[in-house]
Amino acid sequence: YPFILDPFQKEAILCLENNQSVLVSAHTSAGKTVVAEYAISLGFREKQRVIYTTPIKALSNQKFREFTDDFKDVGLMTGDVTINPSASCLIMTTEILRSMLYKGSEIMREVGWVVFDEIHYMRDKGESRIPSPYCLRWLTLDVPQRLDVSQCLDVFQQRGVVWEETIILLPDNVRYVFLSATIPNAKQFAEWVC
């Protein structure tokens, strides 16, 4: 690196070199992304795919732009856009990764590392509204019947469950890099994951 690594970066990189998952909790702009970039480089070196997840599409798009400057083989998968899905490093929202796991995506066989950026979103209690399968079925059929709006929205009281399910569903061989500036219970979270 063209700069001196901070002690937390050195310690995290040492863990990555020993094939250990890491949780990096440091303030904004402290250099957490350096650890993620190192995991991506390790994945490339080991001929494994790396998935970098974010909680929102805008952050996925930002990371895609940043990482395409540093790495050549980067792809983006959001609900709206898919760019280079065969890339060694795929940037996506956590919901997309969970969907891939539910569907038994073949890509998962090649994944060695998953980076969870902004892991504190696991604690998110906000509502998330998405079209229900019932609504999508009717819209697809283009039935000219009046729909009850309440039938067209599933309300999930806890978005954090997406993160929990994703971690639980990932294969045992996958190593994690968790990044957060605001996770309040870092030690407890690390104990749960290990």
Which burial class, exposed, middle or buried, applies to 2 when counting CB atoms under 10 A from its CB (0-12, 13-18, 19+)?
exposed
The fraction of the chain above a pLDDT of 70, given in percent, is 78
Could you give the CA distance from residue 162 to residue 98 in angstroms, rounded to a whole number?
Answer: 7
The correct CATH number of 7-124+160-193 out of 3.20.20.210, 1.25.50.10, 3.40.50.300, 2.60.40.10 is 3.40.50.300
Q: Taking 60 as the threshold, does the pLDDT of residue 160 lie above it? A: yes
Triad 188, 120, 100: Cα angle to 5°: 105
Rounded to two decimals, the pTM is 0.80
Chain-centroid distance of CA 24 in Å reads: 15
Could you give the CA distance from residue 123 to residue 186 in angstroms, rounded to a whole number?
Answer: 12
Could you give the CA distance from residue 191 to residue 187 in angstroms, rounded to a whole number?
Answer: 6
Span(s) in the chain for CATH 3.40.50.300: 7-124+160-193
pLDDT (tens digit, 9 = 90+) per residue, 103-139? Answer: 999 999 999 999 999 887 665 555 444 443 433 333 3
